[in-house]
Chain A
Amino acid sequence: MATTTESVSNGGGPVHEDKGETLRPDDLSEMLAAGTKDVHEKAENTQFVKDFLRGRIRRELFKLGAVALYYTYTAMEEEIEINKDHPHFAPLYFPSELHRHEALARDLEYFYGPEWKREISCSPATQRYVDRIHQVGQEYPALLVAHAYTRYMGDLSGGQVLKKVAQRALKLPPTGEGVEFYQFDAIDSAKAFKQLYRSRMNELELDAETKSSLVDEAVKAFQFNMEVFEELEEIGKTFQEEVSEDGMPIHGDTGGDISKCPYYASKMAASGGMAYACQLAMAILRHPTGQVLIATWFAVLAGLVAWYLM
């Protein structure tokens, strides 16, 4: 086998044959990196992610994405807490460095207001992901690592790029509101932390079969994530919004509230309907000139009535 000079990335690395032993190909960190390489590429290439990276992300969709993340991380961190002393998870217990559900709650409060908990709900794809996490935490805790690995390592890598994209595309404040999910305040160096995390994964005492199941579970985790992306993509299509040339949605000004969209309203008008007539009536009443005319009409009417009575 020739010595490869591949760049070292994410736990993977060149495998060479030296005099004697190979370089421990049964290290969990390496197995995971190798085993998820393909599905990782697939996830990067979903339409949702590609659009996101180009700044094509509508506020409403981003908010729904944050909601999905909230349910996911709440479930995962719940199971992590329960299993924090389990020998198959304990070395990876880093709550202050990693846990995201509080940051996500703050982001959701920023987007949905103080009553955010009542405004959000768990979508079907997210629910399937959440169910799996709970199932794993309860029945087969060794596999919980697969979910933690898939999410947290990703957040500490490409996730940092997503933060900048979101801030720019959604015109979020530079002080970080709305993207606290992406900020790991207790981690100085993402690189050093990932190295520490890998060493801890490799310290887990697991037999070959469990390690193999773990890799399979990680692939599943990616798939769950992709299903959530696809679901978001479908929801996005129903918004009927247009995106202008430079990637900025036209509805930036309306704050994503579809009823304020003139295009939407005129579309409704074209299709006619009672709703339109009512809306029209309301509009007339709202408009000052309309109010004057209505008032005049009533005045005329009242005048005639008065005359009649006299």
Chain B
Amino acid sequence: MDPDTDTKTMADEDEPLFSNLDLFLFSLIVGLVIYWFMSRKKPEPIPEFKKLEIIAPTTRETSFIEKMKKTGKNIIVFYGSQTGTAEEFANRLSKDAQRYGMKGMAADPEEYDMGELSRLSEIKNSLAIFCMATYGEGDPTDNAQDFYDWLQENDDEDLSGLNFTVFSLGNKTYEHYNAMGKYVDKRLEELGAKRIFDLGLGDDDGNLEEDFVSWREQFWPAVCEHFGVEALGDDSSIRQYELKEHTDINMNKVFTGEIGRLKSFEVQKPPYDSKNPFLAPVTVNRKLNKGGQRHLMHLELDISGSKIRYESGDHVAVFPTNDAALVNKLGQVLGVDLDVVISLNNLDEESNKKHPFPCPTTYRTALTHYLDITHPPRTNVLYELAQYASDPQEQENMRKMASSSAQGKALYQSWVLEPCRNILAILEDMPSLKPPIDHLCELLPRLQARYYSIASSSKVHPNSIHICAVVVEYKTKTNRINKGVATNWLKNKLVTDNGHKSTVPMYIRKSQFRLPFKASVPVIMIGPGTGIAPFMGFIQERGWLKQQGKEVGETLLFCGCRHKNEDYLYQEELEEAEKNEVLTRLNVAFSRDQEHKVYVQHLMKKNKEDIWKLIHSENAHIYICGDARNMAKDVQTAFYEIAEDVEGMTRTQATDYIKKLMTKGRYSQDVWS
């Protein structure tokens, strides 16, 4: 044996079984094998596919009747929707149904055979609700086109077994306002269907959500009445909020009338708006009229230091409180301690609205600052309170007034609306009605801010906001005295009250009621009664511009009151303005100073040539302020008559002319009803 091989063998014995290279190759193979197994077993080692739900169109139910029968639904809500709003409303309505012991489903008319509508009679207590939006020029939405065509074409369709109601979605700025909804409502009736509740009209230019909620609140009680169905649960009616009484609470955490943030009335921070009003001290509060029964007043609010700015024509919003005597009486009639600290917490935890009003607070604060207790309660309130009337006749009457039957509506009209019964009156006149106060607080609407046209110009009074208002007070058919909330509250805001300054929580709401940009443009202002308010601001501003050396155009005022010696508002200021030629012409109508009534429109007609010249040849802007119901219409008619008399237009031409002035912003209205 030679030594090398020996060494080699010995070295061999000392060496491991596998060489480095073997090891490496082995691991590599193992690794590749593992990899190969893995890639075989795993379909795709990439973030997982979520199984997509493809709506299988193969076996879709096109019969809504069959679907309703299968799923036990008696209410179907069809929606004509382009942007999803009507669809959303339909979904909400179908969910509502269960509160009333019924079952609803929302449906797209494009997906079902609408020819089956007459078959709804096969289902007990069935009801079809239509949420129809109007699109474009009074057209149906895309998904309602087929339904629309079907309605038009089938004159001999008999829908006598169909109970229906329509809520229509539209926008007043468009010519064919709510055309589709109105059409469906009319047509279904023509084809023999039975209308269960009045057509609801929603205006997206105003507040569509509010219109919908109002309509729906009245709608469901009417449905229940119609089908003789009771709202689910007699003692456990559908409460939205749960009462919590606080026995031991830090009074610093309790709301005492603030609208938004706790203590926001103690520690005031700008900017001031609807959620954070400014407490403006009252510097002037005087009676404007010299005689007569009414009380007309002029108030001035100091806004120094608030950084609040306004322009003449804007509105001041104030947060009034209810009369303390009224609140006390409510407490007595309900037999409760009003000073208990409570919270009402929303049972729906998903909801954004945790409480109906700032909580925790006392019942007294809620009834004084947060709740409306003076307007006649709406029908849905009566419906929900009915369960608390132990006398069967009273209970029946309450329910009936909430229904949409002709008899029910008439009763509501004659017993609630005409005699102006507020909640206290109803409780007093229905002695067996004893609702729990917390449920009542849930049902009563929120106390709204009131708006007044500002009667001053910020150029002349940058730190002061003037208000001109008439106190509302009247006797009702039941011999009660009803008082306007805000006007009585303002009347009692004396400049100094036991050494304190009275304050008014307020903010400015910008309006579009504005003087022309150029002072040289002539203006015609028509504002009888308290409608004169914004024009005091306009006149002050034109006077200021004149003082600044600007060329000021003609400034005409038509205002009015009942008796020259009694309620000629701002007589001194106005006569002064005319003397200084700030007011080109002051025309005051004293309606009751003679046998026949004389109103602003009569004075306008006397000046028809001048008025027409200003409008037609000198680009004058027209402003109307005051009562919407009668005065505004009468004044508009007077303008038509002037156009007819002086220019020889026909009524149609005159109407178009005025309409055009409105579009071009030369005929503005600040009117209230």
Contacts and interface: CB of A to CB of B under 8 A. Distances in A.
A304 B510 contact: no
B580 to A, nearest CB: 25
B616 A21 contact: yes
B662 interface: yes
B153 interface: no
A136 B27 CA distance: 74
B72 interface: no
Interface in B12-63: 16, 18, 20, 23, 26-27, 30-31, 34, 38, 42, 44-50, 52, 54-55
Nearest to A262: B49
Contacts of B307: none
A113 to B, nearest CB: 22
A30 B666 CA distance: 13
Interface string B348-369: 0000100000000000000000
B234 to A, nearest CB: 34
A118 to B, nearest CB: 28
B665 A197 contact: yes
B649 interface: yes
Contact of B204 (A7, A160, A203, A283): A160
A193 interface: yes
Interface stretch (A11-19, A121-129, A143-151): A11-19
Contact of A16 (B26, B52, B518, B653): B653
Contacts of A196: 512, 514, 665, 668
Nearest to A301: B27
B44 A20 contact: no
Nearest to A186: B510
Contacts of A91: 517-518
Contacts of A265: 46-47
A3 B18 contact: no
Q: In the complex, which range does the number of interface residues on chain A fall in?
A: 35 or more
B600 to A, nearest CB: 23
Interface in B651-673: 652-653, 656-657, 659-660, 662-666, 668
B84 A165 contact: yes
Interface stretch (A65-73, A219-227, A290-298): A290-298
Interface string B474-513: 0000000000000000000000000000000000011110
Contacts of A260: 47
Contact of B20 (A16, A161, A300, A308): A308
A238 interface: no
B516 A203 contact: yes
Contacts of B49: 262
A9 B664 CA distance: 11
A24 to B, nearest CB: 8
A199 to B, nearest CB: 3
B621 interface: yes
Given A55-B84, A284-B38, A266 B664 contact: no
Interface string B599-630: 00000000000000000100001000000000
B85 interface: yes
Contacts of A187: 510, 512
Given A193-B512, A304-B23, A297 B521 contact: no
Contact of B38 (A90, A97, A293): A293
Contacts of A16: 653, 656
Contacts of A90: 517
A195 interface: yes
Nearest to B85: A164
A8 B173 CA distance: 10
A86 interface: no
B175 interface: yes
B46 A269 contact: yes
A10 B46 CA distance: 55
Contacts of B616: 21
Contacts of A199: 516, 621, 664-666
Contact of A189 (B83, B512, B518, B656): B512
A259 to B, nearest CB: 9
B551 interface: no
Contacts of A192: 511-512, 668
A117 interface: no
A202 B16 contact: no
Interface string B221-262: 000000000000000000000000000000000000000000
Contact of A23 (B26, B175, B512, B657): B657
A38 interface: no
Given A18-B653, A196-B512, A304-B27, A168 B173 contact: no
Given A188-B511, A287-B45, A29 B664 contact: yes
A190 interface: yes
Contact of A3 (B82, B653, B662): B653
Contacts of A198: 663-665
Contacts of A11: 663-664
B648 interface: yes
B46 A97 contact: no
Contact of B518 (A27, A193, A203, A280): A203
A27 B664 contact: yes
Contacts of B205: 189-191
Nearest to B648: A19
Nearest to A268: B46
A266 B44 contact: yes
Contacts of A18: 647-649, 653
The residue among A165, A203, A250, A296 with the most chain B CB atoms within 10 A of its own CB is A203
A240 interface: no
A277 to B, nearest CB: 12
Contacts of A175: 352
B668 A164 contact: no
A23 B110 CA distance: 46
A2 interface: no
Nearest to A202: B664
A297 B648 contact: no
A198 B660 CA distance: 11
B172 interface: yes
Residue with the greatest number of chain B CB neighbours at <10 A, chosen from A29, A199, A202, A244? A199
Contact of B34 (A190, A293, A308): A293
Contact of A300 (B30, B44, B54): B30
Nearest to B31: A297
A29 to B, nearest CB: 6
Contact of A13 (B42, B55, B663, B665): B663
A253 interface: yes
Contacts of A186: 510
Nearest to B172: A191
A245 interface: yes
Contact of B510 (A19, A188, A287, A308): A188
A84 interface: no
Contacts of A210: none
In this complex, the member of B16, B514, B663 whose beta carbon has the largest number of chain A beta carbons within 10 angstroms is: B663
Complex A-B, nearest 5 residue pairs according to Cβ-Cβ distance, in ascending order: A199-B665, A168-B84, A91-B517, A7-B175, A195-B665
30 contacts: A3-B652, A3-B656, A8-B175, A8-B659, A13-B656, A14-B656, A19-B647, A21-B616, A23-B660, A53-B82, A90-B517, A165-B83, A168-B83, A189-B205, A189-B512, A195-B662, A198-B664, A198-B665, A199-B621, A202-B665, A244-B54, A260-B47, A262-B46, A262-B49, A265-B47, A266-B44, A280-B45, A283-B47, A304-B23, A308-B18
Interface of A: 3, 7-9, 11, 13-14, 16, 18-21, 23, 27, 29-30, 53, 55, 90-91, 96-97, 157, 160-161, 164-165, 167-168, 175, 186-193, 195-200, 202-203, 244-246, 250, 253, 260, 262, 265-266, 269, 279-280, 283-284, 287, 289-290, 293, 296-297, 300-301, 304-305, 307-308
Given A13-B656, A13-B659, A200-B665, 19 more contacts: A3-B656, A7-B175, A14-B660, A16-B653, A21-B616, A53-B82, A164-B83, A164-B84, A165-B83, A167-B84, A188-B510, A195-B662, A195-B664, A202-B664, A244-B54, A262-B46, A290-B45, A296-B34, A300-B27
